[in-house]
Amino acid sequence: MNARILSDTAVLYFMQVVNSGSISEAAARMHVVPSAVSRQISRLENQLATPLFDRQPRGVTLTAAGELLAGYARRTLLDAAQVTNEIQSLRHASELRIKLACTQGFASHFLPFAIAGFRQTVPQSTFLLQVASAREVTRQVREGEVDIGFSFSLGATRDINVVYSQPAPLLALVAPDHALAGRSEISLRELVSYPLALPGFNATLRQLLDIYCSRQGLNYRSVLDSDNLDTLAQFAISGAAVTFGGELFVRHLLKSGALAELNVPELKENHRIIEIQTLASRPLPEAISRFIQHISKVIASG
């Protein structure tokens, strides 16, 4: 492949179309007319002598050749950004910038403390943390918008490298003085007869609870729905409801005694895997590799 093609302005237009899924949306993002984007794409296709997109009424999809070019261009642009950052680090007291994306559970307590611990040994490191859905986290990693993603497994995903994974079983949680606290065992049927506090329907946690309940034909009543996991935890701490969470995200509340875990046999079957994701085939800078090693140890420490 001619390296000059990838250094051309045309590849920037091409990647905007890849990321947006349509020529008109790419044009809007770049503040140019759609015909200008079309000309740049046609130029690339003529240079490579092959179509890069299949044109459809509601957008475009990559051809096999387009997939290859997108992957190569993405890695090339990331490598250029990495070199630029490393050069800037030399000029700015070796500051290390690490960009992260995660689902809400990671952001509420776990990652802030893990980042603080890392900065004790690498004080020149700085972070950007974005909170999104599991699917959006994976997209940001795949598109090179962030260095590392923390999410739940959605199955094998193209261009994603899972550098660490661990089961994340669903825990039923109550205040220590709740009527169910201290019981040696409780069935799911009895558990869901109590008021519940749950995340929104798009949360993997709620989807997993729905699977468990549907197997037994159970219905439940949520008295508080919120996408803020801290809100759900505090509501449960008040004694007003049962809530659910992954051990990693409520570890500090269990250790402090603010919440108690219930023994619910039906929840022991695990369906969730937490993942640390990076872009496949991208060499990781040393600082990012060190942070991944640090965070993996914190997750596994229990």
Question: What CATH number does residue 242 fall under?
Answer: 3.40.190.290
**Distance between CA 298 and CA 86 in Å, rounded?**
27
Amino acid residing at 292: I
181 shares its domain with 261: yes
In terms of Cβ atoms closer than 10 Å to its own Cβ (0-12, 13-18, 19+), residue 284 is: middle
Residue 9 has pLDDT above 90, yes or no: no
pLDDT computed for residue 59 by the predictor: 83
Instruction: Give percent of the chain with pLDDT exceeding 90.
Output: 48
- Total number of domains in the chain: 3
240 shares its domain with 179: yes
**Highest mean pLDDT out of 47-51, 90-94, 233-237:** 233-237
158 shares its domain with 182: no
Of 38, 73, 108, which residue is a domain's last?
73
Residue 90 has pLDDT above 60, yes or no: no
Residue 84 has pLDDT above 80, yes or no: no
135 shares its domain with 210: no
pLDDT computed for residue 45 by the predictor: 87
**Distance between CA 116 and CA 121 in Å, rounded?**
9
pLDDT in tens, 179-194: 999 899 999 999 999 9
121 shares its domain with 69: no
Tell me, yes or no, whether 151 lies in a domain: yes
**Distance between CA 294 and CA 301 in Å, rounded?**
11
Angle between helices 9-20 and 23-30 (to 10 degrees): 120
pLDDT computed for residue 83 by the predictor: 66
Residue 75 has pLDDT above 80, yes or no: no
8 A C-beta contact, residue 223 and residue 241: yes
195 shares its domain with 156: no
pLDDT computed for residue 14 by the predictor: 87
* Segments forming the whole domain that contains residue 14: 3-73
Of 42, 73, 104, which residue is a domain's last?
73
* Banded model confidence at residue 283, pLDDT cuts 50, 70, 90: confident
Tell me, yes or no, whether 83 lies in a domain: no
**Highest mean pLDDT out of 89-93, 118-122, 158-162, 271-275:** 118-122
Tell me, yes or no, whether 89 lies in a domain: no
pLDDT in tens, 243-254: 999 888 899 999
User: How confident is the model over 114-124, as a mean pLDDT?
Assistant: 94
> Who contacts 257 (Cβ-Cβ below 8 Å, separation ≥6)?
176
Residue 228 has pLDDT above 70, yes or no: yes
In terms of Cβ atoms closer than 10 Å to its own Cβ (0-12, 13-18, 19+), residue 210 is: middle
263 shares its domain with 134: no
CATH number of the domain enclosing 61: 1.10.10.10
25 shares its domain with 66: yes
